[in-house]
Amino acid sequence: MGSKQLVTTKLVDLCELIVDCPHSTPEWTDSGYIVLRNQNIRNGSLDLSSPSFTDENGYKSRIKRAVPKAGDIVFTREAPMGEVCLIPEGLQCCLGQRQVLLRPKNGVSGEYLFWALQSPFVQHQISWNEGTGTTVSNIRIPVLKVFEIPRWFKSELRIASHLSAIKNKITLNYQINQTLEKMAQALFKSWFIDFDPVVDNALDSGFFEQDLEFSDELLRRAEARKAVRESADFKPLSEDIRQLFPAAFEECSEPSLGLSGWVPEGWSVKCVSEAISINPKVSLAKNAIAKFVDMKALPTTGYSIEEVIEKPFTGGMKFKQDDVLVARITPCLQNGKTGIVDFLSDKEAGFGSTEFIILRGNKNIHYSYIACLARHEQFRQHVMQSMVGSSGRQRVQNGCFDNYQIAVPPIEVMNSFASLVLPSFKKLKQNTNESISLNRLRDTLLPKLISGELRLSDSEVNTADEVLA
């Protein structure tokens, strides 16, 4: 393939439809029909973890020109330009704004066209047209139609197959990480929010048979656990773990804590700023070369920080190994940006964005607990309510940690929790690191395969196949 002359075909000749989106703003609703937005399309992927919706009338008005179907390509023509995604099977949706729907002709591989549009060869054509809009850069439909697409005809399906195999493995890693995090969060909620092991022990000991004024929430929780314990698939905790938990609750002075003011007997009640160090002091000499983390490196799924570089320290938030980094500003906090520092030696210091909050545990509070707390919805809502500033740049106020209380378990319970979730955290990191390597591999192969510089039979492609095997 590398010895052949590059042949191109205009995009319009490869598509049976090139349809611009409606230019009106959709009527937004809380549920209904999914509206694709440019923020959902990044690096060739469609992320609908935070979907937007319109009602039936809005949907019908936006599909008059064409109904998106599986295999169609959505192309963003403004803010940002040139991002693409494939419509998956089973998705009923309509286009938002600043998007174009591309439907390949019969006989044209939509999968290959999807990859070709992401290649430097085509992306460079996109950059030639920056500045054609009135207020922001955009691509006009007549310009889009005459983009030249590299053609390799009989090899196109195989080229697309190689690149899609890498993308699919990255997607699978992401999905596994989502599952692993949900498992850790479920255990965190069960032990430290709903206090399930304590409720179980209390039910077995007859605690709820006492003549006490239990809160309605505590009684509801007890009834819910009874139903769970009677189900056929109920799996009780091992006896050694159950013995770590008390068999009774006690009332505390804070009615919003625990189960409407009832917390496990013997657990200490502390505000977050008392139990956890907030932005602790770290020594790092000016201009010292240290590891640096930018805001974009903080993940929204999992806790592994995706990109760490080294540069001279000139300012920013400083941190140490096992610290938890949380975004302070909108919309990063709302998106769940949270990461665990797992790339430093014990005596090493790193630094990052001034918009990080640094949370550090101690011998009684494990960093895995802090990481799960930072993503727990009730805690996040409390933190977000403290934000002040302009609507586009609000920041968390540290005072919010003074008035949010937690029930801190004995060290034996904390250590047991850590031992159960750390294997998942380790796998999260492995998957993240593998995906970073696969992204680099894809970025290396994509331009070479689309341009013809690399043959499908070359060793570089064979190496990629071995990695994915």
pLDDT tens digit string along 235-274?
999 999 999 999 999 999 889 899 999 999 999 999 999 9
pLDDT digits (tens, 9 = 90+) for 166-197: 999 999 999 999 999 999 999 999 999 999 99
286 and 396 inside one domain: yes
Domain boundary among 408, 430, 449: 408
Lowest mean pLDDT among 35-39, 48-52, 269-273: 48-52
Q: What tokens does 342 get?
A: 């797992």
CA distances from 77 to 72, 117, 140, 142, 213 (A): 16, 12, 8, 12, 62
Same domain, 351 and 395: yes
pLDDT at 386 over 70: yes
* 352 close to 316: Cβ distance less than 8 angstroms: yes
Tokens 């850790």 sit at which residue? 184
Q: Write b or e for each residue in 172-190: b if 16 or more Cβ atoms lie within 10 A of its Cβ, otherwise e.
A: ebbebbeebbeebbebbbe
Boundary (domain end) residue, out of 408, 431, 455: 408
Average pLDDT over residues 413-420: 98
Q: Is 332 among the domain residues?
A: yes
Within-domain flag for 287:
yes
102 band by pLDDT with thresholds 50, 70 and 90: very high
Q: Which two tokens stand for residue 368?
A: 């895995």
pLDDT of residue 464: 63
User: Residues 362, 461: one domain?
Assistant: no
Specify which residues 17 forms β-bridges with: 103
Whether 438 and 376 map to the same domain: the answer is: no
Q: Is the pLDDT of residue 2 over 70?
A: no
* Structure-token match 């850069």, residue found: 137
- Please say if the pLDDT value at position 457 is more than 80: no
CA 455 to chain centre: 35
Residue 224 structure tokens: 């819910």
Q: Based on the fold, state whether residues 400 and 460 are members of the same structural domain.
A: no
Q: Is 443 in the same domain as 399?
A: no
CA–CA gap between residue 179 and residue 301 (Å, rounded): 10
Given a cut of 50, is residue 88 above it in pLDDT? yes
Residue 66 burial (CB < 10 Å; 0-12/13-18/19+)? middle
Q: Phi and psi of 453, rounded to 5°?
A: -65, -30
pLDDT band at 285 (very low <50, low <70, confident <90, very high): very high
Segment 113-139, tens digit of pLDDT: 999 999 999 999 888 765 554 334 788
How many independent structural domains does the chain possess? 3
Residues 334 and 243 in one domain: no
As a whole number, mean pLDDT of residues 304-330 equals: 96
Q: Which of 115, 125, 99 is nearest to 40 (CA)?
A: 99
What integer pLDDT is reported at residue 135 of this predicted model?
38
Residue 75: CATH number of its domain: 3.90.220.20
> Cα 208–213–217 angle (5° rounding)?
75
pLDDT band at 463 (very low <50, low <70, confident <90, very high): low
Residue range(s) defining the domain that contains residue 15: 7-151
pLDDT of residue 469: 56
Regarding predicted confidence, which is higher, 416 or 461?
416
Radius of gyration of the chain (CA): 27
Q: Are residues 287 and 255 located together in one domain of the fold?
A: no
**Whether residue 230 is found in the same domain as residue 281:** no
Residue 42 has pLDDT above 80, yes or no: yes
Q: What H or E segment, with its residue span, contains residue 113?
A: helix 110-118
Question: In this structure, are 111 and 226 located in the same domain?
Answer: no
Q: Is residue 356 part of a domain?
A: yes
Strands (E), 265-370: 268-271, 277-278, 289-293, 309-312, 317-320, 324-327, 338-340, 349-352, 356-360
User: In this structure, what DSSP letter does residue 51 have?
Assistant: -
Angle at the Cα of 116 from the Cα atoms of 110 and 122, rounded to 5 degrees: 135
Q: Tell me: do 232 and 301 sit in the same domain.
A: no
Does residue 340 belong to any structural domain of this protein?
Answer: yes
Mean pLDDT computed over 375-398: 91
- The verdict on residue 302 lying in a domain is yes
pLDDT at 205 exceeding the cut of 80: yes
User: What percent of the chain clears pLDDT 90, i.e. is strictly above it?
Assistant: 86
Please tell me the distance from the alpha carbon of residue 254 to that of residue 232, in angstroms, as a whole number.
37
Q: Is residue 2 part of a domain?
A: no
Q: Residue 342 domain-assigned? A: yes
Q: How far is CA 77 from the centre of its chain?
A: 25
Q: What is the mean pLDDT of the chain?
A: 93
Checking if the pLDDT of 376 tops 60, the result is yes
Task: Mark which of 102, 134, 151 sits at the end of a domain.
Answer: 151
Which phi and psi (to 5°) does residue 445 adopt?
-75, -35
Dihedral Cα 357, 306, 319, 291, nearest 10 deg = -140
Assess if residue 269 is contained within a domain.
no
Question: Among 159, 272, 263, which residue's Cα sits nearest to residue 217?
Answer: 263
Are residues 404 and 417 located together in one domain of the fold? no
Place of tokens 């490196």: 297
